[in-house]
Structures are given as structure tokens and as C-alpha cells.
């Protein structure tokens, strides 16, 4: 019985670790999804103002579904964040290309995280099944591990 108890404890610890890993991966996916959403909005905004003449009135998204009405002073150059709190002036076309590159990188990261999450979820299911089987073998009733 002691060996079975040890195996049950080991499985419970492993389950908790896997569940923590799944929560971490899910949180990272949410961050990536938020970043992708911001990039899509930025790209859409830049496409919308590209080649507009000076003085054109536009609605520019400021987040949370809110917009500010502006008059374009220059639609050829924008100030774009490049990371670590640093911004640089770029042409609209270069900015759009940079955003597309970031979007591609984030989509690859998203796919990787989804694959990892799927593997962890599968392992969690396997470990729950093994734990339930061990408890059953030991003479207990079927246990649902949540």
C-alpha cells in the first residue's frame, strides 16, 4: 500500500504542476492575443490614413473601442514604438511592413503556445486517468480529479 500511496502523491503533485503550466501558457496566449489585436487595429488605422492629404479629418482609435477626431498634419510619417520604450519616426509603408512582421512573429508564437497547451492538457487528462485507476485498484471508488 505504501508504494501505491507514494504513486498517488506523485501523481497529485505532477497534476498540480501541469495545471500551473497550463495556466501560465493560457496567460501567455492572452497576452499574445492582446498584442495581435493591437497590431491589427494599428495596421487598419495606418492603411486608412495612408495617402490622405494634410488636413484630412480622421477618427483615430485610442483603445477600448474609443476614437478621437483628428486633423492629419502629416500622413506620410508616423512615430512608432520599436520596443523598450523607444520610438522612431517611420514612413507609413515601413510601419505597415514592421507591423506585418510583428504580426507574423506573434502568430507563430501563438501557434507554438497553443501546441504546448494542447500537449499539457493531454498530459493532465492522462495523469487524471492514471490517478483514478490507481485509486480504483486500491479498493476505493472511482474518483474524479478536478
pLDDT digits (tens, 9 = 90+) for 27-65: 999 999 999 999 998 999 899 888 888 888 988 888 888
Instruction: Identify the pLDDT of residue 74.
Output: 84
- Picking from 39, 33, 13, 23, the residue whose alpha carbon sits closest to that of residue 96 is 39
Do the domain assignments include residue 56? no
Do the domain assignments include residue 10? yes
Q: What is the 3-state secondary structure (H, E, C) of the chain?
A: CHHHHHHHHHHHHHHHHHHHHHHHHHHHHHHHHHHHHHHHHHHHHHHHHCCCCCCCEEEEEEECCEEEEEECCCCCEEEEEEECCEEEEEEHHHHHHHHHHHHHHHHHHHHHHHHHHHHHHHHHHHHHHHHHHHHHHCCCCCCCCC
% the chain with pLDDT above 70:
95
Could you tell me which residue, 104 or 60, shows the higher pLDDT? 104
Number of domains the chain contains: 1
When pLDDT is cut at 50, 70 and 90, the band that residue 143 belongs to is low
Instruction: Identify the pLDDT of residue 142.
Output: 54
Could you tell me which residue, 138 or 120, shows the higher pLDDT? 120
Do the domain assignments include residue 64? no
Do the domain assignments include residue 107? yes
Do the domain assignments include residue 18? yes
Q: What is the mean pLDDT of residues 3-24?
A: 92
What CATH number is attached to the domain comprising 127?
1.10.287
| Domain enclosing residue 25, as ranges | 2-50+91-137
Do the domain assignments include residue 129? yes
> Is pLDDT of 144 > 60?
no
Amino acid at each position: 500500500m505504501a508504494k501505491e500511496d507514494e504513486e498517488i502523491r506523485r501523481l497529485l503533485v505532477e497534476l498540480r504542476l501541469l495545471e500551473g503550466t497550463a495556466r501560465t501558457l493560457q496567460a501567455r496566449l492572452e497576452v499574445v492575443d492582446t498584442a495581435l489585436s493591437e497590431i491589427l487595429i494599428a495596421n487598419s488605422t495606418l492603411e486608412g490614413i495612408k495617402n490622405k492629404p494634410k488636413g484630412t479629418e480622421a477618427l483615430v482609435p485610442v483603445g477600448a473601442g474609443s476614437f478621437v477626431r483628428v486633423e492629419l498634419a502629416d500622413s506620410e510619417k508616423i512615430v512608432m514604438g520599436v520596443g523598450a520604450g523607444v520610438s522612431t519616426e517611420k514612413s507609413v509603408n515601413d510601419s505597415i511592413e514592421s507591423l506585418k512582421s510583428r504580426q507574423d512573429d506573434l502568430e507563430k508564437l501563438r501557434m507554438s503556445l497553443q501546441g504546448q497547451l494542447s500537449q499539457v492538457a493531454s498530459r493532465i487528462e492522462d495523469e487524471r486517468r492514471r490517478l483514478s485507476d490507481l485509486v480504483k485498484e486500491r479498493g476505493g471508488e472511482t474518483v474524479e480529479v478536478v
